[in-house]
Amino acid sequence: MLSNQAGDGKRSSLHGHWSSRMAFVLAVTGSAVGLGNIWKFPYIAGQNGGGAFVLVYLACVVLIGMPVMMSEILIGRRGRRNPVRTMQILGEEEGGSRRWGWVGGMGVIAGIFILSYYSVIAGWTLAYIVKSVSGVFVGATAEVVGAEFENYVGDWRKVGLTHTIFMALSVYVVARGVERGLEQAVRFMVPALLVLMLVLLVYSINSGYFGQGVAFMFTPDFEKLTQDSVLAALGQAFFTLSIGMGAIMAYGAYLPEETSITGASAAVVAADTAIAILAGLAIFPLVFANGLTPADGPGLVFNTLPMAFGQMQGGVFLSTIFFVLLSFAAWTSAIGLMEPAVAWIVERFNKTRAQATVMIGLLIWLLGFGTVLSFNKLSETRFLAGTIFNNVDYLTSNIMLPLGGLLIVWFAGWVMCRNSTSDELGNTGKIFKVWHLAARFLAPVGILFVLLNAVGLIEWIRDRLA
């Protein structure tokens, strides 16, 4: 579909549309469910002390994430262009300014930065497919699994290679366009991933340390909650839901007019949160059972799960399937991370989708070497938040996504007129009112509060007033 105007006088997308409501929900779920749930959530929760962090994270998902996601979809569907152009068009239409386009621009950049490291970790999962098949984890102890990880991650050539392969896979799918291939992958992948997480959960329950794992995740110890870990919880909520950078806005641009935005958002948020919690419940008992510590960092999942699989009947098979599924989950997310940049290049510079994807893919691939080297040659090079990887991660998750989300939800709540937003959300009375209140007050105030707290501004003001 290449016309600019749909029959009812509304714009239509230049990149085609989702074939059904289900296709959209699957695509957004595919972008949301990824390394964020299974790789990142457990180690971030571990580094931030568990319980209290998880609670704040859940609050952020529901109170802030949900309204932001709805705002992103409705803006996307109304604008029907890449996030930069969409924000420009709506900015003008709604009596604001075309400078709102900058919000989309920041999203394009955030997506590029995130994928630059995301692809490296996704490459780890590819390597772990091969390792699983080869049987190195069968009956392996914590030491063996740990050494396997160190050997691999410590060699920049190996990590660079898997990063390259993953980027090539991502470029391939994005170049083919929105509709083909992906839907099928997600339809099968998310349920299968759920099943495997349940298998791991059963194993964890029988590990003898389940209680300790549950206690770590759900007993809030607010002593451990620093301002930076509240920010990390907010950042993780944005990251895991794929919001704050226009990716969902770009997907929303391909959404048919009649689909319920509220229903779709709720389904995605529920699925995404369920998988993260399951991952935590599967992983923390194994951490305790094997003498590891929750704060072990980015290697956590790669150091716990292979051991569990190594001790199971049919472990080689299950482990292989698991890392295949995780790679798929990462793949369907990588596509979403590229979409804003690719859509922007296609529309702005009149390139074909394939050309745009290759250009953006090359750029991301190059940037990715900053992260590749962060785990070996440059692991001692530390500034600001730590290694290059730590800095890219911190900048994107903890600053760019919340800031993007703040501006997006502000735009939907305060700049867009009520008629436009209620038109998109299908003015369903109560739901619209609740969303509108959340978009105007709860979400922006919440995000601002966390951001300002983290930079110490609120403390500074409190000191002045005291």
Chain contacts with ligand TRP (rule: CB under 6 A)? 31-32, 34-37, 114, 239-240, 242, 245, 247, 333, 336-337
- With a CB cutoff of 8 Å and minimum separation 6, the contacts of 264 are 21, 24, 25, 28, 73
Q: Where are the alpha helices (DSSP H) in 48-181?
A: 51-59, 66-79, 83-93, 101-134, 142-153, 156-176
C-beta of 279 vs 289, nearer to ligand TRP: 279
Cα–Cα distance measured from residue 124 to residue 37, given in angstroms and rounded to the nearest whole number = 16
Closest distance of CB 447 from ligand TRP, Å? 16
C-beta of 42 vs 146, nearer to ligand TRP: 42
Closest distance of CB 398 from ligand TRP, Å? 13
Closest distance of CB 342 from ligand TRP, Å? 12
From the CB of residue 57, how many other CB atoms can be counted at a distance below 10 Å?
A: 27
Closest distance of CB 336 from ligand TRP, Å? 3
C-beta of 133 vs 194, nearer to ligand TRP: 194
Closest distance of CB 333 from ligand TRP, Å? 4
Asked if 376 and 155 touch (Cβ cutoff 8 Å), the reply is: yes
Residue 386 β-bridge partners: 383
C-beta of 18 vs 203, nearer to ligand TRP: 18
Closest distance of CB 114 from ligand TRP, Å? 6
With CA atoms as reference, report the closest residue to 78 among 27, 26, 8. Answer: 8
C-beta of 320 vs 333, nearer to ligand TRP: 333
C-beta of 34 vs 123, nearer to ligand TRP: 34
Q: Three-state SS for 154?
A: coil
Asked if 46 and 294 touch (Cβ cutoff 8 Å), the reply is: yes
**Token pair 């909520």 is at which residue?**
237
Closest distance of CB 7 from ligand TRP, Å? 31
Closest distance of CB 191 from ligand TRP, Å? 17
Give ∠ CA 192-195-196 in degrees, rounded to 5.
90
C-beta of 65 vs 160, nearer to ligand TRP: 65
Helix H or strand E segment including 365: helix 353-374
C-beta of 76 vs 146, nearer to ligand TRP: 76
Closest distance of CB 233 from ligand TRP, Å? 14
User: Which amino acid appears at position 30 of this protein?
Assistant: G
Q: Where are the alpha helices (DSSP H) in 135-260?
A: 142-153, 156-176, 182-205, 210-218, 227-241, 247-252
With CA atoms as reference, report the closest residue to 245 among 87, 405, 391, 395. Answer: 405
Closest distance of CB 206 from ligand TRP, Å? 28
Closest distance of CB 16 from ligand TRP, Å? 18
With CA atoms as reference, report the closest residue to 241 among 453, 425, 17, 409. Answer: 409
Can you give the three-state secondary structure of 309-358, one letter per residue? Answer: HHCCCCHHHHHHHHHHHHHHHHHHHHHHHHHHHHHHHHHHHCCCHHHHHH
C-beta of 145 vs 277, nearer to ligand TRP: 277
Exposed e or buried b for every residue in 374-388, given b needs 16+ CB within 10 A?
bbbebeeeeeeeebb
Token pair belonging to 360: 């953006």
C-beta of 137 vs 344, nearer to ligand TRP: 344
With CA atoms as reference, report the closest residue to 48 among 203, 228, 171. Answer: 228
C-beta of 335 vs 443, nearer to ligand TRP: 335
Residue 5 β-bridge partners: 11
Please, what is the end-to-end C-alpha distance for the chain in angstroms?
Answer: 62
Q: Which residue is nearest to ligand TRP (CB)?
A: 36
